[in-house]
Amino acid sequence: MRYGKIINYPLGSQIHDRGDKKPGISIVVSGEVEVGNYDIEGRYYLTAILGVGEVFGEFTVLAGLPRTHNAVALDNCQILQIGATQTHKLLSEIPDVQSFLLRSLAIRLHKVLERLDDVIRLPTHVQLAKYLYQIHCQTKQNKIALRQQDLAKRLGVTVLSIHKAIKKLSALNLIHTSYGAVLIPDIEYYAQWLNEQSGILPLSHEQ
């Protein structure tokens, strides 16, 4: 905390814009941050939702690169902002932070490559099934409280595409639906089906 300053961002406020060049890292202290971009026609595409303890902006300090995405407060957020000079001082004085950032970047790159592979190879209903499974692995819950419009936003597809994907998964008895939620009744059967559809190395429960 002593290396930076906590800034409060109200719901919907902009934390930074795509293309910003001011270097520094940001750490989510409370709340959630939505990261995404707009296309030339104004459509918004969600890339990630960052929660407490997650870091963004490392490459602005480590590689001198501009911001690649817009970051917006998804609720009332507290963000620890650490400028470039203080970040270098932090990394020098507390070496464990270097290891943490390296692991954090590696995990993020892994997720990006995995998602890119999904978009290239998998039909929408399998992409949705995989995303729901990943949420289950993180929360250990079989009931996932997300609406169809939320799922569409997170996968970067239309609500109609998600509706069709949910119908396919329901017809296969992989999921049940209720208002604003999806239930996976048999996670072992679900994981087996998903592995067969993915066509690559088996998925791990340890995500």
Q: What is the pLDDT of residues 88-107, one digit of tens each?
A: 999 999 999 999 999 989 98
pLDDT value, residue 114: 86
Residue 40 CB partners (closer than 8 Å, separation 6+): none
pLDDT value, residue 45: 84
pLDDT value, residue 40: 85
Q: Is the pLDDT of residue 203 over 80?
A: no
Alpha carbon distance 203, 69 (integer Å): 29
Span 58-80, mean pLDDT? 94
Backbone dihedral angles phi then psi of residue 103, each to the nearest 5 degrees:
-65, -40
Q: Is the pLDDT of residue 206 over 70?
A: no
Span 36-53, mean pLDDT? 87
Alpha carbon distance 33, 26 (integer Å): 11
**Running DSSP on this structure, what letter comes out for residue 65?**
P
Q: What does the buried/exposed string (b/e) look like for 84-106 if buried means 16 or more CB atoms within 10 Å of the residue's CB?
A: bebbeebbeeeeebeeebeeeee
Q: Is the pLDDT of residue 83 over 70?
A: yes
**How long a stretch of residues is the chain?**
207
Residue 204 pLDDT grade (very low, low, confident, very high; cuts 50, 70, 90): low
Q: Is the pLDDT of residue 200 over 70?
A: no
- Give SS3 for 16: strand
The pLDDT mean for the chain works out to: 91
